[in-house]
């Protein structure tokens, strides 16, 4: 996309880009609306589950809290207040940047999130890169080797796209840890510990990306610019690398914003199975223990990440393609 920026810029009229500012303000407003909606949905949604959050504060399963201790916990966390007081209090705290203290971890949510973002980000980014590499490989191989290759590649893509993370992780552990003994089944801080979680996340994604890329690539291979490149004496490999591949990458890049979101949800399963610290695993633990501040924190963070990534990719498209929006 960066290459098209260079060619697009000279065609733009000079002057202050008011339309972009308006667009940005609109996005900001939309983003705030989304965050408010998420905070509200979580606040009321989690209260629809029967049970008492004070029990979660008192240690959850296995502890039978006394009446006094529960009352103290309720008062300490403001759970004895009327619902609307709690709701507006919660919104006000969130608006002022205070995400509260986790019931279960007894630590400020912001601090916990700060610790958990890096491991999840590393996992997601690596999985995205690996998925890209696998998708490219699949797409190139299947377009290069004719009808049978296409059918085989397409079949592989569908299977890998359809495989659930849970099943894939179990099979990978069984084969590569238990049977072959090559890789650790739990994700330690070593590079080897990252291999299985990354592959578990990347494989289904590679299936999706591969399907999109292969179709666009086949289309590009048959297109006029590919024909003219061949006419100029470009080799088949050259056409593929210099023209078709670039063409095929565009929709896949556009999908990457969505892909990143799907990786975050996949992290819930993968981090739990491979016992890796991260946002996904903490979300699961927080939901089971009714840790309201923690659930709200992770949900808001994911929503904010989504908003930013989506806006970012739209912004990139605006810069890349001056036809979008009035100027």
Q: Which residues bind another protein (CB under 8 A)?
A: 49-52, 54-55, 57-73, 103-107, 112, 115-116, 170, 173-174, 177-178, 181, 184-186, 188, 272-275, 277-278, 281-282, 285, 288-290
Torsion of CA 93, 97, 102, 108, to 10 degrees: -130
| CB closer to another protein out of 50 and 326 | 50
| CB closer to another protein out of 8 and 285 | 285
Query: At closest approach, how far in Å is the CB of 70 from another protein?
Result: 5
| CB closer to another protein out of 105 and 319 | 105
The answer to whether the CB of 90 falls within 8 A of the CB of 40 is no
Burial class (CB in 10 A: 0-12, 13-18, 19+), 85: exposed
Distance CA 298, CA 234 (A): 51
Q: DSSP states of 86-124 as a string?
A: HHHHHHHHHHTT---B-TTT-SBHHHHHHHHHHHHHHHH
Query: At closest approach, how far in Å is the CB of 281 from another protein?
Result: 6
Distance CA 39, CA 303 (A): 10
Query: At closest approach, how far in Å is the CB of 240 from another protein?
Result: 41
Query: At closest approach, how far in Å is the CB of 18 from another protein?
Result: 47
Distance CA 271, CA 264 (A): 10
| CB closer to another protein out of 299 and 311 | 299
Closest CA to 223 of 5, 211, 4, 215: 215
Closest CA to 265 of 305, 206, 207: 305
| CB closer to another protein out of 2 and 64 | 64
| CB closer to another protein out of 17 and 108 | 108
Residues 6+ apart with CB under 8 A from 241: none
Query: At closest approach, how far in Å is the CB of 151 from another protein?
Result: 35
Closest CA to 197 of 159, 157, 170: 170
Distance CA 280, CA 294 (A): 12
Closest CA to 197 of 184, 179, 178, 182: 184
Query: At closest approach, how far in Å is the CB of 75 from another protein?
Result: 9
Sign of CA dihedral 173, 268, 53, 301: positive
Query: At closest approach, how far in Å is the CB of 54 from another protein?
Result: 6
| CB closer to another protein out of 206 and 269 | 269
- The CA radius of gyration of the chain, in Å to the nearest whole number, is 25
Query: At closest approach, how far in Å is the CB of 288 from another protein?
Result: 7
* Residue 322: CA count within 13 A, CB half-sphere: 13
| CB closer to another protein out of 10 and 62 | 62
């Amino acid at each position: 996309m960066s290459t098209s920026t260079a060619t697009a810029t000279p065609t733009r009229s000079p002057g202050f880009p008011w339309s972009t500012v308006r667009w940005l303000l609109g996005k900001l407003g939309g983003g705030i609306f989304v965050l408010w909606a998420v905070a509200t949905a979580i606040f009321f949604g989690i209260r629809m589950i029967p049970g008492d959050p004070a029990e979660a504060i008192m240690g959850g399963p296995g502890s039978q809290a006394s009446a006094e201790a529960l009352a103290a916990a309720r008062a300490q966390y403001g759970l004895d207040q009327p619902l609307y007081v709690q709701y507006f209090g919660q919104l006000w705290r969130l608006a002022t940047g205070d995400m509260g203290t986790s019931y279960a971890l007894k630590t400020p949510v912001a601090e916990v999130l700060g610790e958990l973002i890096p491991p999840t980000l590393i996992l997601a980014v690596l999985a995205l890169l690996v998925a890209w590499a696998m998708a490219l490989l699949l797409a190139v191989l299947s377009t290069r080797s004719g009808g049978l290759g296409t059918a085989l590649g397409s079949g592989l893509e569908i299977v890998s796209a359809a495989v659930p993370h849970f099943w894939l992780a179990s099979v990978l552990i069984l084969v590569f840890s238990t049977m072959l003994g090559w890789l650790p089944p739990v994700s330690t801080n070593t590079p080897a510990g990252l291999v299985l979680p990354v592959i578990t996340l990347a494989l289904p994604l590679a299936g999706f990306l591969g399907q999109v890329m292969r179709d666009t690539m086949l289309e590009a291979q048959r297109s006029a610019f590919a024909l003219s490149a061949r006419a100029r004496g470009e080799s088949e490999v050259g056409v593929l690398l210099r023209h078709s591949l670039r063409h095929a990458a565009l929709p896949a890049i556009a999908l990457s914003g969505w892909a990143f979101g799907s990786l975050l949800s996949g992290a819930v399963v993968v981090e739990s199975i491979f016992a890796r610290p991260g946002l996904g695993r903490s979300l699961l633990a927080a939901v089971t223990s009714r840790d309201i501040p923690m659930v709200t924190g992770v949900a808001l963070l994911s929503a904010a990440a989504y908003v930013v990534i989506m806006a970012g990719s739209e912004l990139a498209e605006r810069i890349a393609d001056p036809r979008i929006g009035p100027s």
